Structure 1
Amino acid sequence: MSVGVLAHLFGSLPYKELAPKVAESGFKHVQLALWKAISDINFSKPGNLSPGLANAVGEQFDKHGVSISVLGCYVHLFDRNEEQRRANVNRFKELLRYAKFFGAPMVAAETGRNEGNDYTDRDWSIMRVTLEELVEEAEKWGVFVGLEAANDHLIGTAPELARILKEVPSSNVGVVIDPGNLLTADNFARQNEVIGEAFELLGSRIIAAHAKDRMLLDDGSLGVVPAGFGTMNYELYMKLLNQYKPHVHIIMEEAKEYQMAQAKGFIEEIRGRV
């Protein structure tokens, strides 16, 4: 029931320095976003990955007892600029091809968002076409596409994520669950309902989980803080996670290095008793 961490919370480092730093902080697995976390290799554009490079990075983490549970791909998947969308899709597909050489079972992403949240039916159609293309690649290589709903994104709610899963019915698409991404200032008082709905609709498709916390601020907005530093119902979150997906990997978000041990201990204590 180990809790992992976003690798880039430690900053951007040479991978031979990053791996031991993660291990020294007590984490056994990471979500690795190559161009956010690794400084000594140019991952700014697709094309430089190879089995050898992926193995070298993966083996360095393994040497220190850390696995790569998720490859993160922070790209806009329905970009209205077709040239940019193609570049984003190609980057995602490259990670799918090499994921297993890193030792990672999945490549995960949120869908992306437009300024002003002015989403159209065409945006949804393009997202569906994009996902179909990514799924075709994932099926070839025996890995998962992990999709995460996030407020203000095209796919921002649990029902929207459930809808796209029905429209692209592949077993190579899974859910990265994060209740913190589904909560807003407007629905925070109903958080138990929001969290319960997410598991009811998506529970069987969960392949990884994220952990951060939320709290209402004095100005009425919803703040984001490390797990245990806010007022999100973690008892309910961990209870449902254990019920639907025991031993699923949890990746911790948001924490500064000095907050990591406290947040990690908070998650593990609750998950171990509910």
Structure 2
Amino acid sequence: MPLIGINAWSLPSGLPLRQAFQVAKEAGFDCVEVNLAEEGEVSLQSDEQSARRIAEDAAQCGVKLLSLSTGLGWKYPIAAPDPAIREKGFEVVRFQLQVAKWLGADTVLVVPGVVTPDSSYDAVYRLTLEGLKRLAPEAERLGVHIGVENVWNRFLLSPLEFAQLLDAVDHPHVGAYFDVGNVLTFGYPDQWIRILNTRIRKVHVKDFRTTIGNISGFCNPAQGDVPWERVRIALHEIGYEGPITAEVEGYRTLQTLGLKHIAETLRMLFEPRSHGANV
């Protein structure tokens, strides 16, 4: 049975991290994924002392910190066409790697770039490849992995292409942060899992209603069209032993109850003989 995690964005907003850790533990989660922001408890202003204090708070609450996410990759992508923004992106990822080291996390989530009318697909691919090769030695030095996430950025729309990119980087500290729900509009998550295989460093989960088909289609686990049993079997087949981390909206009211339901649902979905999962 894998560890069950929750991204801090999914916890009630406004809570200090120590209190958020306690809420997550009481809801039934094993780990919490914190997020690097421009300001706040985990931010570009963090130092080693504050980060290690957060790690101690998590340990005292009984939750693990295994990965560090950020939304700053959308603002400062390492494949941005503007060289100044790219350099800022490199600074952010380097600092993210360092903060992860202080926290005791072994993986950082990286959104590499966004394809737009002014940022062509081939250019984003080339700059992403160059950027990941540039960052890989720093990740190795710190003993932290870079997990490139498949997000709705009009990039890496095929598991074959995603695997090709990672193979071209060719570094053991650069892999995939695979989001199960993000591929439902154009693929099947179990197929992505088998193709990416051991390149996967961490896994995000959310569900998605394909009949809606846009960003409003994202929902909590077991409320959409993710083939959960196929996902569980595929992860088992590739030998994935990392956490399953929910990155979801949760309940808009009765938030604490919603968190308990999400944790319980994920445990049922990922039990070796899960019952009631969609196939």
Q: Tell me, yes or no, whether TM beats 0.5.
A: yes
Match for residue 255 of structure 1 among 249, 253, 262: 249
Aligned partner of 2:199 in structure 1 is: 205
How many angstroms apart in 1 are the aligned matches of 2:109 and 2:202? Answer: 9
Alignment counterpart, residue 71 of structure 1, candidates 65, 68, 72: 68
1:55-94 to structure 2, matched below 5 A, reads 55-74=52-71, 75=73, 76-94=77-95
User: 1 CA distance for matches of 2:104 and 2:42?
Assistant: 20
Distance 2:17 2:214 in 1: 37
Partner of 1:33: 35
Q: Is the 8 A contact 1:151 1:183 kept in 2?
A: no
Q: TM-score, normalised by structure 2?
A: 0.85
Give, in whole Å, the separation in 1 of the partners of 2:49 and 2:108: 19
For 1:175-214, list aligned pairs within 5 A: 175-184=176-185, 187=186, 191=187, 194-214=188-208
Contact map agreement 2:207 2:224 (CA 8 A) in 1:
yes
Is the CA contact (8 Å cut-off) linking 2:33 and 2:245 kept in structure 1? Answer: yes
Q: CA deviation at 1:12?
A: 4.0
Q: Show the counterpart of 1:9.
A: 10
Give the match for residue 211 of structure 2.
217
The equivalent residue for 1:229 is 223
Against the structure 1 CA distance between its residues 117 and 166, is the aligned structure 2 distance closer, same or farther, given a 3 Å change threshold? farther
Q: What is the one-letter code of the residue matched to 2:32? A: V
Q: Check 1:62–1:117 CA distance in 2 against 1; reply closer, same or farther (3 A cut).
A: farther
Amino acid at match of 2:99: Y
Give aligned pairs, total: 261
> 2 CA distance for matches of 1:42 and 1:51?
11
Distance 1:133 1:24 in 2: 41
Compute the RMSD of aligned alpha carbons: 2.2
Q: Which aligned runs of 4 or more in structure 1 are off by greater than 3 angstroms?
A: 114-118
Q: Percent identity between the aligned chains?
A: 22
Paired residue secondary structure (2:66): strand
Q: Quick one: which amino acid aligns to residue 86 of structure 1?
A: E
Contact 2:6 / 2:245 at 8 angstroms: preserved in 1?
yes
CA distance in 2, matches of 1:7, 1:149: 19
Name the counterpart of 1:156: 157
User: Aligned partners of 2:181 and 2:21: how far apart in 1?
Assistant: 27
- 8 Å contact kept, 2:146–2:173: yes
Residue by residue, what CA displacement relative to the aligned partner does 1:217-260 show, whole Å, maximum 9, x if unpaired?
Answer: 36x65711111111211110111112223432100121323432
The match for 2:114 is: 113
Tell me if the contact between 1:119 and 1:154 (Cα under 8 Å) persists in the aligned partners. Answer: no
**SS state at 1:175 partner:** strand
1:139-154 alignment to 2 at 5 Å?
139-154=140-155
Q: Corresponding residue for 1:49?
A: 46
How far the C-alpha of 1:61 sits from its partner, in A, is 0.8
CA distance in 2, matches of 1:249, 1:42: 21
Q: Does the 8 Å contact 2:36/2:42 carry over to 1?
A: no
Q: Separation in 1 of the partners of 2:100 and 2:93?
A: 10
Q: Are 2:265 and 1:266 equivalent residues in the alignment?
A: yes
Unaligned runs of 5+ in 1: none
Q: TM-score, normalised by structure 1?
A: 0.86
**Alpha carbons of structure 1 residues 42 and 23: separation in structure 2 relative to 1, 3 Å:** closer
Equivalent in 9, 21, 24 of residue 22 of structure 1: 24
Amino acid at match of 2:46: L
- 2:128 is matched with 127
Q: Distance in 1 between matches of 2:122 and 2:241?
A: 37
Note the C-alpha offset of 1:18. 2.3
Query: 1:165-176, aligned counterparts within 5 Å?
Result: 165-176=166-177
Retained in 2: the 8 A contact 1:97–1:137?
no
